[in-house]
Amino acid sequence: MHSHESVKQLDIVPVDQWGAQLPAHVVERLPASGITVFAVSDDASDTAEFSARYGFGLEDCANTIVIRYKKDGGEHYAALVSLGSRRLDINGAVKAALGAQRLSFAKREAAVEHSGMEFGGITAFGLPADWRVLVDAAVMERPQVVMGAGVRAAKLLLAPQVLREVDHFEVAELTLAAE
């Protein structure tokens, strides 16, 4: 758990600046309280670099991954939120949770186009209304997590319970402990 000293070293973005720094549709869906937005340098946006530079363990970094899947003859998108310290069980747990016949990671261009967010910064907040958002159970056990903010230049720091405010939020067992 981080002491308040380490949080003070973060480059906090004041609430009245969120609109200038984050995509509008992300800001609209962010809860009014319980979230800290902070700026990060683009070269430290990816999980491993971010963890090393900002001192958050991989077990406190929640990644949002876009999946494309086929079900009932149609093609759908979903977002999976999992910790950087765990491995998604794509063909087992994820497929079962979605009831998918086939699934794959969405292509970068499709993920960006459909989410309206930057690749590497996709977040669970502000995703299209028809997407399911599956959050791995291990995420919900953390006291706090860092996740994307819709752009590579910022991150969100929040208690996982805040994710319950996301539309189509579901908790599921999606991962295996990383080898």
Domain ranges for the chain: 4-177
* Neighbouring C-beta atoms of residue 177, cutoff 10 Å: 9
Model confidence pTM above 0.85: yes
Is residue 29 within 8 Å of residue 38, measured between CB atoms?
no
Q: What was the pLDDT predicted at 12?
A: 94
Return the structure tokens found at 72.
Answer: 């009932």
Show the low-confidence residues of the chain (pLDDT under 70).
Answer: 1-8, 178-179
Select the CATH number that applies to the domain covering 4-177 from these four: 3.30.70.20, 3.40.1710.10, 3.90.960.10, 1.10.10.410.
3.90.960.10
